[in-house]
Structure 1
Amino acid sequence: MKTTISSKGQIVLPSDFRKLDHIEPGAEFSIERIESGEYLLKKLPSGDATGLTDWLLSCPEKGWFEPVPSESTDTL
């Protein structure tokens, strides 16, 4: 896939890639220079629960998850 660098030095990540990897505005990347003309771009972890909502919505049926009984931590 081809992209162009803007006059501000910005590179657009093609929408097909953004959709495939659920990349939203504000996502952070690291970039490393491998050698002249070759670079490695890596998406940094976002720290949120990306994909969790999709996973929960894919549960077989409503009420599938049940709370796990646990002791209170109020007295700790």
Structure 2
Amino acid sequence: MTMIRGNKPLKVSSKGRVVIPLDFRKRMHLSSGDQLGMTLSNDGRLILEKLPSSSDWKRLIADIPVEQVTVEQDGHYDPVKSPNFDEWMHEE
């Protein structure tokens, strides 16, 4: 993991707010309204990660094939009618 450190300390406001410097926001591709995930490591480091937006999720799932899979009571399905599901079932 490459660490990029700021060249000046950040101040915490009386309401607990900090401003992420512009160069960090650019590197993280952050825009107003984006959401961040926050983790506190065991050694006391605060880790911020950009969370995917709804448009990010739409792009991520756009190419996932959708097919109807009928699974019978005995757990069998027709691999010819559901080839993508069958391929997924046999992935290692």
TM range, normalised to the smaller chain? 0.5 to 0.7
Aligned to 2:53: 46
Aligned to 2:88: none
Tell me, which stretches of 5 or more residues in structure 1 are unaligned? 53-76
**CA offsets per residue over residues 22-74 of structure 1, 9 Å max, x none?**
3111110111111363111111011225xx9xxxxxxxxxxxxxxxxxxxxxx
Instruction: Output the aligned Cα RMSD.
Output: 2.1
Q: Provide TM-score, normalisation by structure 2.
A: 0.45
Tell me, which stretches of 5 or more residues in structure 2 are unaligned? 1-5, 60-92
Instruction: Point out the structure with max Rg over C-alpha.
Output: 2
Which structure has greater helix proportion?
Answer: 2
SS in 1 for 2:41: strand
For CA contacts below 8 A with separation 6 or more, give which structure has more relative contact order. Answer: 1
Moved over 6 A (4+): none
Aligned to 1:33: 40
